[in-house]
Amino acid sequence: MRLRRAGAVAAVAGAAAAVVFATTAAVTPSGRADPMQPLPTFTSQALAARYAADSHAIARATTAATRSGDTGLARALDDIHGRHFLSFDARGSGEAIEVLGDLATAKRVAIIVPGSDTTLATFNSRGTASPGGAAVALAAQAHRLDPGAHLAVIAWLGYNTPATFSPAVMTSGDAEQGARALRPLVTGLAARGDQVALLCHSYGSVVCGLAAPHLPVTDIAAFGSPGMDASSARALHTGARVWAGRGRGDWIRYVPHVQLLGLGFGQDPTAPAFGARPFACGTGGHSGYFRPGGVALRNLAYIALGDPAGVTR
């Protein structure tokens, strides 16, 4: 434990030092120059057309990756071919927004917002530690808890995530780009009457914190969070239920919760002073929140379903 803690603290200190001495270009947002793929209308016909188009795009990207010798990316893309994607872009580190369930008839939608080191190559390659695998686990758990629920789950890689060991991971630049990209999806779903929950892991909780003000969501859950770029749940300016949880084995507990000269993300969301609703996450580590059979997954499923009474603390 001491070695793990020392490594985590050293990593944070190293990243912070890199930011202090980096050039301005090193910490500017790494967002795409091109806008995100426009969202379709959320009808069965429009969604089917988008899913088919993105399936073809994934097949073309797989072929291109194979020809270029990027076998890791080619395997990762081949794994997701044929699944339902609301948006896909193979440029740069990639964009992928996957849908599980019937989005056309859903009454509730849970959006999983991942953190650092998430790219097309890792979208589905790390089991439930990847957004694709996490969405599968969440949808299955929610179905076990409420088989009749009209719930759709979205694995949302709609922004360029920073690398864990980089200056950018200590700043909100990439998160600001992610927040701008996330808001249209949420508002579009809410406009047609869906209740939306945001499930925000690690650096993804910074994205959710920046997107939160006046966003029409019922729940925002931050877990494995370095902070939400806010001093308190009230400072998020949201009417949503704000949840916070952390596994007892998560190294993120050793990240300093400060905000100074553009570095860090402020108060720990799991601290009582932040004012979030706590939820139990068990003994798991930073990548274990969607592990099947775990208390964290069960609680996240209840939050996704909009059932706060089922959540344990």
Q: Where are the domains of the chain?
A: 2-24+83-310
pLDDT of residue 35: 56
The residue-averaged pLDDT of 154-168 equals: 90
Homologous superfamily in CATH for domain 2-24+83-310: Alpha/Beta hydrolase fold, catalytic domain (3.40.50.1820)
Structure tokens at 167: 């200056």
**C-alpha pair distances (Å), 287 with each of 33, 106, 250, 274:** 30, 28, 8, 23
pLDDT of residue 30: 42
Residue 3 pLDDT > 50? no
- Report the predicted TM-score, pTM, of the whole model to 2 decimal places: 0.89
Structure tokens at 90: 């193979």
Query: Residue 281, by phi and psi: left (phi above 0), alpha (psi -120 to 50) or beta?
Result: alpha
Structure tokens at 151: 């719930």
Q: How confident is the model at residue 313 (pLDDT cuts 50, 70, 90)?
A: very high
Over residues 98-156, the pLDDT tens digits come to 999 999 999 999 999 999 999 999 999 999 999 999 999 999 999 999 999 999 999 99
Query: Residue 243, by phi and psi: left (phi above 0), alpha (psi -120 to 50) or beta?
Result: beta
The residue-averaged pLDDT of 75-79 equals: 96
Cα-Cα end-to-end distance for the chain: 24
Contacts of 276 (CB under 8 A, 6+ apart): 222, 233, 242, 243, 244, 269, 270
Residue 77 pLDDT > 90? yes
pLDDT of residue 36: 67
Q: What is the DSSP letter of 163?
A: P
Q: What does the radius of gyration of the chain's CA atoms come to, in whole angstroms?
A: 18
Q: How confident is the model at residue 73 (pLDDT cuts 50, 70, 90)?
A: very high
